[in-house]
Amino acid sequence: MIYLKVLDAELRKLSHSKGTAKTMLCLPLGRAWFVAAKLTVSALWFLVLSASLLAESLLVGAFIGLPGFSLPLFLDTCAQVLIVAAALLALAPAVAWLALASEGFMAPTGFTIFMLVVGTILGHTDWSRYFPWSIVPLVTGIAGPRIEHLGTESYAVLAATFAACLAGAILHQQRADNTQ
């Protein structure tokens, strides 16, 4: 019995100090599944946060007694929030890819802030429909008058950005060296 406890303790120490536990648990799966799983969890969290934002808005409006609630207005607002959430989620693989490539959080944070500024500036031009990071400011009204409906070109740009950056993140993970 004592031998098993000592062996268990040594295996635990080895698996955590050398990083072999993580490698042994993750070895049977391809790295693309980890990228997809992380983006799926992020999307689910984003959906939960968007739903809680809508619920909180309803509660605060009812608490302070805002007049003029109507179901069509609420449903339109829900649709707009979902469009903005989908547009933001379509841009998430670009930030994920940069985080993987830089192995940190400063580069993706700087990239996100820079793209927000560039997207807001380009939001005042005719090119805004074709630049992925200006589509969200157009829909929300940050870059000027709010656009009610996006054109198909904007959806195509968001889909292409999502696909290209997701492919880049997956390829980066598949070619990355596992040093542990």
Residue 1 within any structural domain of the chain? no
The string over 23-47, giving b where at least 16 C-beta atoms fall within 10 Å of a residue's C-beta and e elsewhere, is eeeeeeeebeeebeeebeeeeeeee
Q: Is 2 left (phi over 0), alpha (psi -120 to 50) or beta?
A: alpha
* 16-25 tens-digit pLDDT: 445 555 555 5
Residue 90 located in a structural domain? yes
Residue given tokens 């429909």 in the structure block: 129
Looking at the structure of the chain, the number of domains it has is 1
Q: Is residue 103 part of a domain?
A: yes
Non-local CB neighbours of 102 within 8 Å, separated by 6+ positions = 108
Rounded to whole angstroms, how far apart are CA atoms 63 and 57? Answer: 10
Q: Give the pLDDT score at 37.
A: 82
pLDDT digits (tens, 9 = 90+) for 40-82: 888 898 889 888 988 898 888 888 888 888 888 888 888 888 8
Q: Quick check: is 70 in a domain? A: yes
Kindly state whether residue 14 falls inside one of the protein's structural domains: no
Tell whether 16 is covered by a domain. Answer: no
Please tell me which residue, 24 or 37, carries the higher pLDDT value. 37
Domain assignment present for 4: no
Q: How many angstroms separate the Cα of 123 from the Cα of each of 5, 101, 114, 117, 141? A: 64, 28, 14, 10, 9
Burial 75-85 (b: 16+ CB within 10 A, else e): eeeeeebebeb
In angstroms, the CA 82 to CA 14 distance is: 47
Q: Which two tokens stand for residue 58?
A: 């309803």
pLDDT digits (tens, 9 = 90+) for 100-148: 788 778 888 888 889 888 888 887 777 777 888 888 878 777 766 677 6
Residue 45 covered by a domain: yes
Residue 75 sits in which domain range? 29-175
